Structure 1
Amino acid sequence: MGRSILSSQHSTQQSTRATVTVFAESGSWIESDAVDQCHQVAALDGMIHVAGMPDLHPGKGAPIGAAMLSSVLYPLLVGSDIGCGIAVFPIRLKRVVPERLAGRFPDLDEPVDPADLPGTDIPAGYTDQLGTVGRGNHFVELARVDEVLDGGHAERLGLTAGDTVLIVHSGSRGLGERILRSHTEVHGAGPAADPAAYLAAHDEAVRWGHLNRRIMAERVADALGAELGEPVTDVCHNSAEVRGGHYLHRKGAAPGDGTDVLIAGTRGTRSFLVAGHAGAGAGHSVAHGAGRKMSRSDALRRGRAKHTVEELRRTAVGSIVVCGDRQLLFEEAPGAYKRIEQVIGDLVAHRLATPVVSTVPLVTYKTADLAPRKGGRR
């Protein structure tokens, strides 16, 4: 069950010194299970503060949409997809016809051959799954800059209304899973026995995630015959860092202290690029997306009762969805997520971020589409 939180910002003192603050306005939908998870984390040894973002929702073992400060390093609070993040690349196309472009996207489930990347330093030497997007909420999206909300900042980033951008959301794939598994098989949900060793492996996974997003962007640009620019932002939202002598864990929360962050909506709604200026009370963090309001099983059940597969391949904003996995189409339907405008509004209300531009999807790639499309290749 979920509930709407009653206060715009609330903190509670635990039996230890750890506090919990959820940054959401009155009326914003925050599941009670997610708040409960924040308090469970706050009860861990060494925990100092837990900051819940407005996209807060329950996760496996830890809340998603939270920044957690502790004197103890807990790998489980970062999770398996270390270095997962979102990059935004300017991309220039001769003609923007979504129906045709959707059919030209490469198969991003097939990894690249490392031999095709001469001179590339591949972190941890991990070549499996390189250049692939993965499942779940990961995606690669061709989008249009819709509205400029902070003209000066947008100009500094080189963005104007009508520009096309490529948004890439993915992480460290099996490398991050391997790092977490090597910890949990010995220590379970407990703290890292050797924090320095974990952080060294973690940093490799973060670098791998950045490289993976870059490779996918290049693959798409090449397939579309487009010119790809340097990313205007590439920020991960599953990470750990040493800050002020403590460990700041982020799970589904992006660094928001002087950082430009793309906060993803859904494949059928806008996303927002924001300038983050969050302080210590918010874990120096901002939200990373709209945040789920339905579990995958609920989204699948409800979606099948309301929509056909073909209906989900075209969104309310007229964009095209490339997804050959029918179950994933339902699980990741726009209705399974919170309203992105509410999440952004909460960040603004709490002075954590300033919106710079909004984007509207044109083509969203989830997984290879096996069905032939009119106007494009298979």
Structure 2
Amino acid sequence: MAASVSLFASPHSWIESDAVAQCHQVAALDGMEHVAGMPDLHPGKGAPIGAAMLSSVLYPLLVGSDIGCGIAVFPIALKKPVPEKLAARFPDLDVPVAPEPGEDIPAGYTDGLGTVGRGNHFVELARVQTAFAERAGLRERDLVLIVHSGSRGLGERILREHTEVHGAGPAADPETYLKAHDEAVRWGSLNRRLLAERVALALGAEPAEPIVDQCHNLVEVVDGSKYLHRKGAAPGDGKDVLIAGTRGTPSYVVATHAGREAGWSVAHGAGRKMSRADALKRGKAKHTVEELRRTPVGSYVVCGDRQLLFEEAPTAYKRIEQVIADLVTHGLATPVAVTVPVVTYKTAEPKRRR
């Protein structure tokens, strides 16, 4: 008998039938007990993105390769910030950094350390436009660095080692997988801190500790023996999380209060509305590269990869306002602050590479 499936989205939300079908496919797996789809739900490779999946069996494929991917928020103090000038000062975050002597690097993995990665990963300087309450140290007009990145090649290696032997099947030795998984989660958190530190120093600011740092690709042990897989779903059990919009729309810090039916989870972002191929095709028909380097909110986009500019255009994503409204309607989260992009970094410009 298939597990139950709950979808936390309104009829006004853009949810592809393929994504819902993937939820039901996952629900049919051995040991699966419940699948919760968030309002940013969209199809993924082998499993839906924007879902929390509770099972008595651990399935590494449901977490995916970017174990430990998450979003952290760091306060940053800058005098008279001028967006165009700040955009030119961002460092090349595709160039790895060398670890400090004696630094504790999870799994001893140093490849790609301090790099942001491709796809939907980013580092963004943003301004707090609205703070509904002074929470997590956020006040209106404060500046923050938002870092979205994961475990880079480490997570890929862990999943590959599993799939080469077991394919899409369950972990033969959950404890061994979880040990490697936990190292990747720690690596992702460290990497977000290094990225924020690199950008803060390049912009002339002092690095700061994160006020939010939550992972949305991981598996947790709950109820003593159950496995809660999150794929593009942030923890929703009382922690504050940032739910990312796009480089041309706001993001939201929310207080979370999701229960068991929602997999103790909330959305992690706006969620894709178009495939990368569709976004590239439609974007080239509607926009020029220069148009995409400036956004409707007046922010700057640093991206030396023209294809990525189109693939990650704001129009390729769902409306973040609708995602947040769905979370509020279903009682999963309450907004506490809104941030608006000032500079969003994707990849360095070729002319600035060293």
Q: TM-score, normalised by structure 2?
A: 0.98
SS at match of 2:213: strand
CA contact (8 A) 2:135 2:336 kept: no
Q: Matched residues in 1 for 2:5 and 2:34: separation?
A: 6
Aligned to 2:264: 284
Considering only aligned residues, what root-mean-square deviation do their CA atoms show, in Å? 1.1
Does residue 40 of the first structure (1) align with residue 25 of the second (2)?
yes
Aligned residue type for 2:204: G
Please show how residues 1-378 of structure 1 align to structure 2 within 5 Å. Answer: 15-16=1-2, 18-114=3-99, 117-149=100-132, 151=133, 155-244=134-223, 245-371=225-351
Deviations 1:209-264 (A, max 9, x none): 00000001000011110123221110010000100120000000001001110000
How many angstroms apart in 1 are the aligned matches of 2:161 and 2:147? 28
- DSSP-derived class of the 2:238 partner: strand
Identical amino acids, percent of aligned pairs:
79
SS of structure 1 residue aligned to 2:328: helix
C-alpha offsets along residues 258-306 of structure 1, whole Å, 9 cap, x if unaligned? 1110000000000000011100000000000000000000000000000
Deviation of 1:113 (Å): 1.3
Unmatched runs of 5 consecutive residues or more in structure 2: none
Structure 1 position 120, deviation (Å): 1.5
Give the Cα separation in 2 of the matches to 1:283 and 1:156.
25
Q: 1:83 aligns to what SS in structure 2? A: coil
- CA shift for structure 1 position 370: 2.1
Aligned mates of 2:48, 2:277 — CA distance in 1: 18
CA distance in 2, matches of 1:371, 1:272: 34
Q: Which amino acid aligns with 1:340?
A: I
Q: Shift in Å at residue 371 of structure 1? A: 4.4
Deviation sequence 1:176-221 (CA, Å, 0-9, x none)? 0000000000000000000000000000000000000000100001
- Distance in 2, Cα, partners of 1:265 & 1:166: 14
Q: CA deviation at 1:354?
A: 0.5
Note the alpha carbon deviations across 1:84-129, whole angstroms, 9 max, x for none: 0000000001221010000000000000012xx1332000000000
Conservation of the 8 A alpha-carbon contact between 2:124 and 2:342: yes
Amino acid at match of 1:134: G
Deviation, structure 1 residue 25: 1.1
* Aligned partners of 1:157 and 1:232 also within 8 Å: yes
One-letter identity of the residue aligned with 2:304: G
What SS is found at the alignment partner of 2:239?
Answer: strand
Q: Is the 8 A contact 2:27 2:35 kept in 1?
A: yes
User: TM (normalized to structure 1)?
Assistant: 0.92
C-alpha contact (below 8 Å) 1:265/1:271 kept by paired residues: yes
**Residue pair 1:94, 1:226 contacting (<8 A) in 2 also:** no
- Tell me, yes or no, if the aligned pair for 2:197 and 2:208 is still in contact at 8 Å: no
CA distance in 2, matches of 1:198, 1:259: 26
Contact residue 216 and residue 231 of structure 2 kept, 8 A: yes
C-alpha distance in 1 between matches for 2:244 and 2:119 = 14
- Name structure 1 gaps, 5 residues minimum: 1-14
Question: What is the aligned length?
Answer: 353
Distance 2:239 2:349 in 1: 35
Provide the C-alpha distance between the structure 2 equivalents of 1:148 and 1:25, rounded to a whole number of angstroms.
Answer: 26
Instruction: Provide the rounded CA distance (Å) in 2 between the counterparts of 1:210 and 1:265.
Output: 21
Deviations 1:325-367 (A, max 9, x none): 0000000000000000000000000000010100000000000
Structure 2 distance, partners of 1:370, 1:128, is 21
What is the Cα deviation at residue 159 of structure 1? 1.0
SS of equivalent to 2:141: coil
- The alpha-carbon deviation at position 27 of structure 1 amounts to 1.5
Distance 1:158 1:73 in 2: 37
* Secondary structure of the corresponding residue to residue 228 of structure 1: coil
